[in-house]
Chain A
Amino acid sequence: MSGSKAVAGATPDEPREPAVPGSSGMSLACADVSFSYEEARAPIPAVRDVSFELPAGGSLALMGASGSGKSTLLQVVRGLDAPDTGAVLLDGAAPVDAGYAALQREVGLVFQAPELQLFAATAREDVAFGPRRLGWPEEQVTAAVDTALDVVGLPPAHFAERHPYSLSGGEQRRLALAGVLAMRPRLLLLDEPFVSLDPGTRRQLVGILERLKAAGVTLLLATHDVDLAWALCDELLVLGEGRLVAAGPWDFSTAGGRLLAENRLREPFFVELWRRLGRDPQRAPRSASAAAEALS
């Protein structure tokens, strides 16, 4: 692994006031980003010459076959791995620009199965860890923790003093998400957040992400679940063997359908339904209630 590579131009951590709640999302641009894992034998390029733009407040589904480089790209965007070539621009700033490190701290990454990283003795302490590390004053930390617990549906009055391991699996995943949200990310990266969640917890998480999106947070969502990607994301980026295959609005033309199939994906349920009903698949609904509305 090369995760210890320093990010070029990063400035040392310094105390920083938390972003104002509801402050606008961060824009993201990747310019010719490449990253390879260093292996003893032939290196396997994980991300190759990837360029795309995601406007502030936008939502982008990051899709592609297993092994296409989605997790790697998220780690590079988060700054955990520095690109071999190319640059990740945050709000238009490059790594060499002043203030880039501060912008990086406003990027939140929710790992796969983030509940495995819970460690503190209480839910409150676990969520407070990130904000404290950022050097926030303690009253700001408390406020941020309370807000984050509320946002994920774990009201502090009932949950703040619970031991993380006494929570159900779904509650643990939401607690881990709260730990990222407490740092008030303006760009939220999620790596397969729905895997292994029961449908009830999935519905809750979709609701949380819809509220964050409405609040202006920029979303980059890596997922295999085309139905949830379609429900949550305005645009789609497809990776194939580390390269960008397509980026932009969803395209359900014949060519667009072929591109999905070639990348081991499929049409969302409502898109297939609309097509088979003889309706315009580009205007397919994104939820059961919207579909019922249109069919009523």
Chain B
Amino acid sequence: MSSSPDETAPLFDISGLHYRYAGAQADALADLDLTVHEGEFVAVLGANGSGKSTLARLLGGLEKPTAARHALACGHDLLVEDGRLSARRDVGVLFQNPENQLVAQCVEDDVAFGLENLAWPAADMRRRVDAMLARFGLEELRRREPHMLSGGQKQRTALAGVIAVPRRVLVLDEPTAMLDPAGRDEVLMAVREMHADGLAVVYITQEMDEAVGADRVVVLGGGTEAYAGTAAGLFADAVRVRRLGLGLPAAGELALALAERGHALRGLPLTIDELLAALGDAP
């Protein structure tokens, strides 16, 4: 058994992290620092190939860092095998593609899979699984075999399974990328509810509007930190945003296009409500 985690220490305490894939010429992650505290919602952005998914695997204890000054997840040392095994229990990770995460014969067994491994009592497990199925609108699919599900349904099943096990922090790697707009809203709402309940979330995304409400935004570029700060601070510098392969939320893109035509708005709106307010204020 590893030592019990310190409740006040950061959930992720990463310094000088390097990761290089076997045979690669360069580091996928290079000298990366990352600290995530209890209750935080941290959005991670970055162009394709910037190292976001690699980071998710390392945070979840699924890969061994090539090197690090220190790398702690929920107090577990990611540089040693025992620490990574403990991290896998406390850190819930959902990947971009749920195909490889569905293992059971039907949806409800898949959602129960992690709880069975932890030997939960049957009645508790049933209640927990039912709650998860309801939260993700999967009740009617509970007996469906995973290979008979659409991509979006698979993603919701995988997320329900990750969350069924009590976690200290979630690492979500583009969880909405394959979902229809309503499915995306359901997942976002569920994630925000869990965050409101106190769970820390590291949220990797290519959707700029999903980063707007985050406590903090970290942008990866070339495997290392290219920006860390607020969403407003990131989007205020449109030239840097483009250089990093990113964009502005739609409201911000329109404000920028207006400014280019000599009609600058007061402040930079990032949501449609902020945009409407700014347009109302405009002379």
Contacts and interface: CB of A to CB of B under 8 A. Distances in A.
Given A65-B152, A273-B276, A288-B257, 8 more contacts: A39-B148, A66-B150, A67-B149, A68-B150, A199-B208, A226-B181, A261-B182, A276-B272
A151 to B, nearest CB: 20
Interface stretch (B27-35, B62-70, B83-91, B241-249): B241-249
A295 B258 CA distance: 8
Contact of B279 (A196, A227, A295): A295
Interface stretch (A8-16, A81-89, A133-141, A262-270): A262-270
A292 B257 contact: yes
Contacts of A192: 178
Given A67-B153, A170-B49, A200-B247, A288 B180 contact: no
Contacts of A168: 47-49
Interface in B237-262: 242, 245-247, 250-251, 253-254, 256-258, 260-262
B180 A292 contact: no
B153 A196 contact: no
B181 A272 contact: no
A296 interface: yes
A170 B181 contact: no
24 contacts: A64-B180, A66-B179, A66-B183, A67-B149, A67-B152, A192-B178, A198-B46, A199-B245, A199-B246, A200-B47, A200-B247, A201-B47, A202-B206, A224-B180, A224-B181, A266-B181, A266-B182, A269-B272, A273-B272, A276-B272, A291-B257, A292-B258, A292-B260, A292-B261
By size class, the interface of chain B is 35 or more
B247 A296 contact: no
B245 A198 contact: yes
Contacts of A19: none
A195 interface: yes
Interface of A: 39, 44, 64-68, 168-170, 173, 192, 195-203, 224, 226-227, 261, 264-266, 269-270, 272-273, 276-277, 288-289, 291-293, 295-296
B183 to A, nearest CB: 6
Contacts of B245: 170, 198-201
B275 interface: yes
A126 to B, nearest CB: 18
A198 B258 contact: no
B263 A296 contact: yes
Contacts of B246: 198-200
Given A199-B208, A269-B250, A272-B272, A44 B183 contact: no
A170 B123 CA distance: 47
B151 interface: yes
B47 A292 contact: no
Contacts of B247: 199-200, 202-203
B108 interface: no
B266 to A, nearest CB: 15
A197 B206 contact: yes
B174 interface: yes
B96 interface: yes
B232 interface: no
A270 B179 CA distance: 21
A226 B180 CA distance: 9
A277 B277 CA distance: 11
A276 B274 CA distance: 12
A196 B48 contact: yes
A36 B206 CA distance: 34
B177 interface: yes
